[in-house]
Amino acid sequence: MKNPVIILVQTQMAANIGMCARAMLNCGLTELRLVAPRDGWPNPDAISPATDAKHIIESAKVYSTVKEATADCHQVYAATARIRHLNTPAVTATEAAAEIHQNAQSEAGEYQAAILFGPEASGLDNDSMSHADRLMHYPMNPDYTSLNLAQAVLLFSWEWWKSRPDATTTYETSWTPAPREEFDYFINRLENLLDDAGFFPNKLKKPTTLQKIKSLFNRSNPSSQEVKSLQGILTALIGISKK
């Protein structure tokens, strides 16, 4: 399966090309194409802003026209805020990402998508946009939709990365909750101590109050080590006035 290529059209600042490469790498995209970068190519100014994405910069291919840069692509999206342009259908970045994954899966390795991003100051011009079959936009705060180039590349790349079919939502807990008996032992001890302290003046309300306390500690899912800390805290607190 081919990942989408990012095509930067007539970019003005090489540093921005570097920052785009970095944003791509964050999201697993590696193929960068450049159409007529203003200050020529290769350009040392792109290297440092690319940080660890130097290999993306070094393998970037340069073209003189959008037409050449997109020749092998099956679907071309033009990133633009001017979505009423040219009667070309407009999708959001999120929709574009989903569509690209769908097509990539059904085409079994052949399908190549590309996203065009225009120059910093003006965005894509009409001629560049005419090579796209979809306009892609970011439904931003309507009062302020201007994104810088690397941020526009990042948001598309992020949407693509998040929606890839093999994305695993890695939602790991970083600790193991203690066995219930350790937790219950702590709660029992707390209950006994609170009984001793006269914490439950109303016997009828005690079960409810105790449930609430239990649920509060339960919510933390304390580890064995943490239950030991809680036990230590109990021991310390009840010892205070003996000192």
Burial state string for 102-117 with b = 16 or more CB within 10 A and e = fewer than 16: eebeeeeeebbbbbbb
* Residue number, 64 or 204, with CB nearest to a second copy: 204
H or E segment and range at residue 118? none
* Residue number, 35 or 155, with CB nearest to a second copy: 155
Strand-pair partners of 134: 77
Least Å distance between CB 138 and a second copy? Answer: 8
**Beta carbons of 25 and 58 less than 8 angstroms apart:** no
Least Å distance between CB 63 and a second copy? Answer: 26
Least Å distance between CB 44 and a second copy? Answer: 20
Cα separation of 209 and 186, whole Å? 16
* Residue number, 9 or 178, with CB nearest to a second copy: 178
Supply the DSSP symbol for 108: T
* Residue number, 126 or 169, with CB nearest to a second copy: 169
Least Å distance between CB 13 and a second copy? Answer: 14
Cα separation of 14 and 10, whole Å? 10
Least Å distance between CB 158 and a second copy? Answer: 6
* Residue number, 35 or 156, with CB nearest to a second copy: 156
Packed helices 224-239 and 180-196: angle between N→C axes, nearest 10 degrees: 10
